[in-house]
């Protein structure tokens, strides 16, 4: 079972517009202030790209006053990383096309490379552990004497960038817990969930679109649980089925 969320260019224009100006701490006592976001573009299979201005302040490099960069390109690359705790969506930042001609003579131009190394290291912090966030046990009504809960677990994920949208698809596994059974601990291994086969390409992620965000996933799970409860009242056989829907 897969669930999908799609963010259009308009969605991301609004989100990034609220995010900027953006200040990022780097190194020891340094920071980069990104402002004047414009010209947002989608790079298929790569990420987002926008033109910005930047202000760099990093005393450890001997630069005790902010260094202004009038024009630079910021690239944001979303990636799925598998970690011990489950799938994680990370965002890697990179500055390029920096107008170094505007940098003061006393500033080593290698500062851009140093800043990029710091920004790229931030992907560890700029991440979302969606496996943990989207996994939940939903309690079923007391009227169901034999079924106590619906255990919905998120598994692997795929992210896809096209020319006009960003899509995230997450696989889910589900099982019914007998009434009275102990709730699973967070440390327990997740349910076996479908993983994308070698033939499944992420290009299919954006064939259907919806402006809804990831919060919809929880609502879908609750609706599925309610449907399961109704079916269980009329017969012993219980099924759980939900279609993929289309995707910060």
Tens place of pLDDT for every residue, the chain, 248 residues? 999 999 999 999 999 999 999 999 888 788 899 999 999 999 999 999 999 999 888 776 565 667 888 889 999 999 999 888 888 999 999 998 888 666 665 565 677 888 888 888 887 788 999 999 999 999 999 888 898 899 999 999 999 999 999 999 999 999 999 987 766 554 454 454 445 443 344 445 544 444 333 333 343 334 334 333 333 333 333 333 333 333 33
pTM tops 0.85, yes or no: no
Domain final position from 94, 128, 162: 128
Residues 96 and 152 in one domain: no
212 lies in some domain: yes
Residues 94 and 186 in one domain: no
111 lies in some domain: yes
1 lies in some domain: no
Residue 59 vs residues 25, 44, 93, 143, 174: alpha-carbon distances, Å: 12, 37, 22, 66, 52
User: How high is the pLDDT of residue 193?
Assistant: 47
- Counted domains in the chain: 2
Residues 124 and 227 in one domain: no
101 lies in some domain: yes
> DSSP letter at 164?
S
User: How high is the pLDDT of residue 174?
Assistant: 92
Which domain does 30 fall in, by range?
9-128
Residue 103 vs residues 62, 66, 74, 92, 108: alpha-carbon distances, Å: 14, 11, 18, 25, 9
With CA atoms as reference, report the closest residue to 1 among 208, 135, 168, 193.
193
Domain final position from 93, 128, 163: 128
- Can you read off the two tokens belonging to residue 162? 């096209």
Residues 123 and 187 in one domain: no
Domain final position from 128, 159, 187: 128
Residue 204 vs residues 81, 130, 162, 248: alpha-carbon distances, Å: 20, 21, 11, 20
Residues 140 and 153 in one domain: yes
246 lies in some domain: no
């Amino acid at each position: 079972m897969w669930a999908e969320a799609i963010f259009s260019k308009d969605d991301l224009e609004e989100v990034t517009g609220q995010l900027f100006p953006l200040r990022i701490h780097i190194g020891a006592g340094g920071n980069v202030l990104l402002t004047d976001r414009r010209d947002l573009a989608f790079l298929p299979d790569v990420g987002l790209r926008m033109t910005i201005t930047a202000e760099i302040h990093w005393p450890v490099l001997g630069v005790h006053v902010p260094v202004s960069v009038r024009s630079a390109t910021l690239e944001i690359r979303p990636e799925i990383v598998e970690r011990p705790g489950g799938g994680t969506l990370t965002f890697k930042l990179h500055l390029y096309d920096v107008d170094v001609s505007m940098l003061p003579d006393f500033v080593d131009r290698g500062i851009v490379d140093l800043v990029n190394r710091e920004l790229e290291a931030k992907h560890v912090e700029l991440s979302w552990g969606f496996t943990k966030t989207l996994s939940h046990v939903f309690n079923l009504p007391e009227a169901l004497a034999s079924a106590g809960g619906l255990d919905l677990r998120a598994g692997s994920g795929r992210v896809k960038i096209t020319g006009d949208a960003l899509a995230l698809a997450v696989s889910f596994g589900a099982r019914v817990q007998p009434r009275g059974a102990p709730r699973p601990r967070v440390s327990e291994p997740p349910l076996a969930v479908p993983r994308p086969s070698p033939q499944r390409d992420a290009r299919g992620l954006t064939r259907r679109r919806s402006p809804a965000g990831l919060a919809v996933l929880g609502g879908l799970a609750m609706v599925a649980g309610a449907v399961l409860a109704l079916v269980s009242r009329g017969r012993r056989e219980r099924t759980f089925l939900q279609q993929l829907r289309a995707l910060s």
